[in-house]
Structure 1
Amino acid sequence: MQKIVLPKDLHLFGNRVHTFPVGIKESFDALIAMLPEGLERPYYGVSWMEAGVVIYYTMAAEKFSGEAKLYSCETNLNIEKGEYLAVTVRDWMSKTDSIKDVFDGLMKDKRVATGAPCVEWYKSDEEMVCMMKSNA
């Protein structure tokens, strides 16, 4: 496990995957196709539990304030600056079934902030970082 420090809030926008876990790839593909830069910006998967149901969003990093409004996305949210506990998953496309296990391990760590969302940072087609905010 590693620590990652986000020096400033991440402003994200995107859409909920109402059929989670089915439809994640299609939602990311639609988001990437909608944006003029395509893959030339960071993408994230953000999830949390509500009443025993996983709420999952596919999201892109906002390039300028108010950008989310241009694309009529379902929501925008912020990932708070600060320290995150993280696990890097290499060759993540072949390991999508095991991502939940990575987050299960992170959630069991006493340093994770209560109620922190699970954040998947897709750095490339090969590298993805699973992160949860630290309470430290």
Structure 2
Amino acid sequence: MEKFVLPKDLHLFGNRVHTFPMGIKESFDALIEMLPEGLERPYYGVSWMEGEDVIYYTMAAEKFQRESKKYNCEMGLTIEKGEYLAATVYDWMSKTDSIKDVFDALMKDPRVAMGAPCVEWYKSDEEMVCMIKSK
């Protein structure tokens, strides 16, 4: 586990995966295809619990304010600047079934801010960072 500092607020937009955990890849593919830059911007998976349900969104970093409206996306979301507990997963595409275990370990750390969303930052096809805001 490592500490990661997000230096400024991160403004994201995207769509909910209503069939979570099924449909994540298809949702990301649709988001990437919809945007003119395709893979030329950062992408994120953002999730949190509502009762017994996991709410999961595939999201892209905003290039300009209210970009979500231009593309008719369901949700605009701000990930707050600050310190996060993080774990980097290499070769993540072959480990998608174990990502929940990475977040389970992060959530057990007493430094985690309860109720903060789980953020997956897809840095590349090889590297993904799992992070949760610290207290």
Q: Name the TM tier (shorter chain).
A: over 0.9
Partner-residue secondary structure (3-state), 1:37: coil
Gaps of 5+ in 1: none
Whole-angstrom CA distance in 1 between matches of 2:58 and 2:65: 19
Q: How does 1:97-112 map to 2 (within 5 A)?
A: 97-112=97-112
Gaps of 5+ in 2: none
Whole-angstrom CA distance in 2 between matches of 1:16 and 1:67: 16
Whole-angstrom CA distance in 2 between matches of 1:16 and 1:66: 17
- How many residue pairs get aligned? The number is 135
Could you list the structure 1 runs, at least 4 aligned residues long, displaced by more than 6 angstroms after superposition: none
Q: TM-score, normalised by structure 2?
A: 0.99
1:51 CA drift (Å) = 1.1
1:29 pairs with 2:29: yes
Whole-angstrom CA distance in 1 between matches of 2:56 and 2:29: 15
List per-residue Cα deviations over 1:3-57 (Å, max 9, x = no partner): 1111111000000000000000000000000000000000000000001100000
List per-residue Cα deviations over 1:84-133 (Å, max 9, x = no partner): 00000000000000000000000000000010110000000000000000
List per-residue Cα deviations over 1:52-79 (Å, max 9, x = no partner): 1000000000011121110000111000
Whole-angstrom CA distance in 2 between matches of 1:87 and 1:53: 23
- Which amino acid in the other structure matches residue 20 of structure 1? F
Whole-angstrom CA distance in 1 between matches of 2:93 and 2:114: 29
Partner-residue secondary structure (3-state), 2:48: strand
Partner-residue secondary structure (3-state), 2:100: helix
> 1:113 corresponds to which residue?
113
Whole-angstrom CA distance in 2 between matches of 1:65 and 1:104: 33
Whole-angstrom CA distance in 2 between matches of 1:103 and 1:126: 18
Q: TM-score, normalised by structure 1?
A: 0.98
Whole-angstrom CA distance in 2 between matches of 1:92 and 1:68: 27
> 2:39 corresponds to which residue?
39
